[in-house]
Amino acid sequence: MNARAGAFVDLGVISNSGQHLAYVGPYDLKGLNYYQHPWFDDVMSKGVYISNVYMGYRQSPHFIIAVRRQEGLNSWILRATIDPDIFEGIVRSAQVGKTGDAYILDRKGTYQTCPRFNGEILTQSHLNTRVFGTRTTVIEEKNTEGEKKTLYAGRRLKDGKWLLVISQEAAEEMSGLFATKIAEIVIIICGFLAIIFATVFTTRMIIKRLRETDSRMNELNAQLIQSDKLAALGKMAAGVAHEINNPLAVIIQVSGWMEDLLDEEVFQKSSNLEEFKQSIKNIEDHVERARKVVHNMLGYARKMEPRLEDVDVNGTLEQTIDLLKNHAITNNIEITTALSDDLPIIASDQSQLQQVFLNLMTNAIDAIGSEGLIEVTSRQVDSFINVDIRDNGPGIPEDKQKKVFDPFFTTKETGEGTGLGLWVSYDIIAKMGGSIRIKSEVGKGTTFTVAVPAVIPEKK
Amino acid sequence: MDAFRALVVDDEAVFLETLVKRLHKRNIDTTGVPSGEEALEIMKKKLFDVVILDVKMPGGMDGIETLREIKKTQPLAEVLLLTGHASVETSIEGMKLGAFDYLLKPIKLEELLTKLAQAFEKKDTHDQKIRSARIKELIRFPGRVLEQVKEEES
C-alpha cells in the first residue's frame, strides 16, 4: 500500500477501545492505547478524522488520517500517518517566482507545512487566519517599512480547519500585469497623442486653408470691385470727354476766326492789337491743354481692339528702356534688367504693351525724382509673362494704393501729370486678359507687376 | 492751288458758321449745311470738290449714310470725315466706303487746310485724268460727242 501511494509513513488498525491492534511502519507503536487521545473521540463520533500536523510520539511533524469502519457491532479504525514531505511537496509546487510562497495554516495560524520564508513548521505564523473568508480570499499586506506589498490568497480546506495560503510580493506577482498595464497605458497615451496631434494638425491645416481662401477671395473681390469701378468710371469719363470735345472744337474755331479778323486793317491800327493776339493765344493754349487731357483719357489705343502680332516682351522692354535712358541718366537713375532668357514670343499688341511699360517706367522715374534704381525683370509664371518694374522711390501709402488706377488720380504736381497713365495702362492690360498689380511700401519703393497672357502665336 | 469749292456738313451751328467764314477768308468757296439731308439737296444743284463731313450727327442721317449718298450723287467729290474719338472705327469704315481721310476733333485749321489741299489735289489729278481720257476718246471716236450731248439732254 505504501509502495503504491508513497505518502503513508505508517498504517495502523485501532479497536473501538483505543487499542492499537495492528501497525505497519518505522515506529513501534503497536499496543499503544489511543483511547485518551482527543482525535479518538472525533473519529468514533464523526467517522473521519484528519489531524493537524503535530510532533506526536515520533518527534517529527506529521499528521494522521483516521477512518472508522463499522462491522456489525464492532467498529475499527484505520489510521494512517501521512509523510509531511510529500504533502509539503504538493503545497510547494504552488511556490512560484522568487518571492512566491505556499503553506497551510491551521485555525490558530500555526504552519502545517514548512513555509519557504519566515518560519518553520509548527511555529506560529504572523497571519491572522480570521481575515480569510470561507471562499478564496485575497488580502494585501504591507511590511513594516511599508515598501513591499505582499499579496496573500487564502482558501479554507478540510471543513475550514486548514487554510492554504499562497503569498507573493505584489511587485513580482504583478510585474507581468504591470508590464502589460504600462504597455497598455503607453499605447493609449500614444493613441491619444496621435489623435490630439492629428486633430490639431488637421484643424490648423483647415484653418490655414480657410484663411488663404479667404484672403484670396478678398483679393479677388477687391480686384472685381476695382475693375467694375474702373469700367464704370471709364464709361463716364468717355462720355464726359465727348461732351467736352464738341465745345472745344467750337472754341478753337471761334478764337481762330478772331485771329483771322485781326489781320484786317482796322484791327492792325488798334493799340490793343498785341493784347488781343495774346488773349487769343492764351485761349488756344488752354484749349490745347484740355484737348490733351481728353485725348489721353480716350487714348486712341484704348478705342481699338488690341492688334495681334508677334511680340518679344524682352525686346519691347529694352526698346522702352532705350527711350527713357537719357531721361533717367539726367536724373542719376540707373535702370537694370534681369530678363528671362526663355520667354516665348507671344501674340499681343506691341505698341500698346510699350505704352504700358513706358507709363510705368516714367512713373518710376518721376517717383524717384533723382538718384535711384529701377529694376526691370521678366519671367514666365504659368501661362503669363510677368514683368516687374521696381523702383526704390518713396513708395505709396496703403490708402492711396487702391486709387492709383483711378482716372485723374495723381501724386504729381498740378499740370505735371494727368492721372491717366495708370488708368489707361490698366485698361490696356485688362483688355489683353492680363492684370497689373501694385506692391508698395513707404520708404522702400514700389513694384508694379504686369501679367501679360503668354498666348502663343498661331503658325502662319 | 486753284480756287475750289468745299461743302461743310456739321450740326454744330457756331462751328459750322465759323469754319465757313474762316475758309472763305482763305479764298475757298465754302458752303455750310447743318444736316446730311440738306447736304444731299444742295449737291444736286451744285458741284463740290471736297466735302467736310461730321461723322456723328444726332438726329437725321448719320455721317456714314450721308457718305454713301454723296458717293452716289457726286462720285468724284472727295470726302473728309470729322470724327470724335469714339467714332474712329466709324471713320475707318467710312474710308473703306471711299472717304479721302479723317480728322480728329477738335481740329486745327492748319491741319484741315493741309488735308483739304491734299484732297483737292487728288480730286484735281483725278479730274484731269478723266478729262484727258475723254479727249483721247473724242479724238478716236468724234461721233461719241453727239451721243453724250443727247444723253445729257435726256
What are the tens digits of pLDDT across the range A180-224? 888 999 999 999 999 999 999 999 999 999 999 998 888 888 777
- Tell me the fold of A305-453: Heat Shock Protein 90 (3.30.565)
Compute CA distances A1 → A9, A25, A60, A154, A293, whole Å: 11, 12, 22, 33, 136
Residue A15: per-residue pLDDT: 81
Q: Closest approach of chain A CAs to the CA of B22, in angstroms?
A: 6
Judge whether B148 lies within some domain.
Answer: no
What pLDDT band is residue A300 in, cutting at 50, 70 and 90?
very low
In tens, the pLDDT along B83-127 reads 876 666 777 888 888 889 888 888 888 889 999 889 888 888 888
Using alpha carbons only, give the angle A407, A413, A416 rounded to the nearest 5 degrees. 70
Per the confidence metrics, is the pTM higher than 0.80?
no
Which residue in the set B22, B25, B106 is minimally distant from A291, CB to CB?
A: B106
Q: Closest approach of chain B CAs to the CA of A289, in angstroms?
A: 12
Which residue in the set B12, B19, B108 is minimally distant from A246, CB to CB?
A: B12
How many domains does the structure of chain B reveal?
Answer: 1
Judge whether B30 lies within some domain.
Answer: yes
Judge whether B138 lies within some domain.
Answer: no
Q: Are A125 and A106 in contact (CB under 8 A)?
A: no
Q: Give A236's contacts in chain B (Cβ within 8 Å).
A: none
Best residue of A253, A289, A424 to probe chain B, by most B CBs closer than 10 Å: A253
Q: In CATH terms, are A199-297 and A305-453 the same topology?
A: no
Q: Which residues pair with A337 in a beta bridge?
A: A376
Closest chain B residue by Cα to residue A250: B15
Residue whose C-alpha cell reads 514700389 in the numeric block: A446
The low-confidence residues of chain B, meaning pLDDT below 70, are 1-3, 85-88, 152-154
Contact B85 A303 (CB under 8 A): yes
Closest chain B residue by Cα to residue A299: B85
Residue B1: per-residue pLDDT: 46
CATH number of the domain enclosing B38: 3.40.50.2300
CATH number of A88-174: 3.30.450.20
Closest chain B residue by Cα to residue A289: B106
Residue A195: per-residue pLDDT: 93
- Would you say residue A432 has pLDDT above 90? no
Task: Please indicate whether residue A295 or residue B47 has the higher confidence score (pLDDT).
Answer: B47
Q: Give A253's contacts in chain B (Cβ within 8 Å).
A: 14-15, 18-19, 22, 106, 109
CATH 1.10.287.130 fits domain A199-297: yes
Residue A304: per-residue pLDDT: 52
Grid cell locating A369:
525724382
Counting residues of chain A whose pLDDT is more than 70, the rounded percentage is: 88
Residue A189: per-residue pLDDT: 93
Share the mean pLDDT of chain B: 85
Closest chain A residue by Cα to residue B89: A304
Q: Give B25's contacts in chain A (Cβ within 8 Å).
A: 260
What pLDDT band is residue A57 in, cutting at 50, 70 and 90?
low
**In the 3-class helix/strand/coil scheme, how is chain A assigned residue by residue?**
CHHHHCCEEEEEEEECCCEEEEEECCCCCCCCECCCCHHHHHHHHHCEEECCCECHHHCCCEEEEEEEEEECCEEEEEEEEECHHHHHHHHHCCCCCCCCEEEEEECCCEECCCCCCCCCCCCECCCCHHHCCCCCEEEEEECCCCCCEEEEEEEEEHHHCEEEEEEEEHHHHHHHHHHHHHHHHHHHHHHHHHHHHHHHHHHHHHHHHHHHHHHHHHHHHHHHHHHHHHHHHHHHHHHHHHHHHHHHHHHHHHHHHHHHHHCCHHHHCCCCHHHHHHHHHHHHHHHHHHHHHHHHHCCHHHHCCCCCEEECHHHHHHHHHHHHHHHHHHCCEEEEEEECCCCCCEEECHHHHHHHHHHHHHHHHHHHCCCEEEEEEEEEECCEEEEEEEECCCCCCHHHHCCCCCCCCCCCCCCCCCCCHHHHHHHHHHHHCCEEEEEEECCCEEEEEEEEECCCCCCC
Contact A242 B86 (CB under 8 A): yes
Please, what sign has the CA dihedral across residues B40, B46, B49, B53?
Answer: negative
Q: Give A303's contacts in chain B (Cβ within 8 Å).
A: 85-86, 88-89
Residue B2: per-residue pLDDT: 57
Judge whether B61 lies within some domain.
Answer: yes
- Would you say residue A46 has pLDDT above 70? yes
B75-96 as b/e: b if 16+ CB within 10 A: eebbbbbbbbbbbbebbebbee
Judge whether B146 lies within some domain.
Answer: no
- Read off the pLDDT of each residue in A242-260 and give the average, rounded to a whole number: 87
- Tell me the fold of A2-82: Beta-Lactamase (3.30.450)
Q: Give A304's contacts in chain B (Cβ within 8 Å).
A: 88-89
- Domain assignments of chain A as residue spans, ordered by start: 2-82, 88-174, 199-297, 305-453
Q: Give B24's contacts in chain A (Cβ within 8 Å).
A: none
Q: Domain range for residue B81?
A: 5-123
Which residue in the set B25, B106, B109 is minimally distant from A248, CB to CB?
A: B106
In tens, the pLDDT along A146-192 reads 566 777 888 887 677 788 888 777 666 567 777 888 899 999 999 99
How many Å separate Cα B83 from the centre of its chain?
16
Q: Give A291's contacts in chain B (Cβ within 8 Å).
A: 106
Which residue in the set B25, B89, B105 is minimally distant from A249, CB to CB?
A: B105
Judge whether B130 lies within some domain.
Answer: no
Judge whether B69 lies within some domain.
Answer: yes
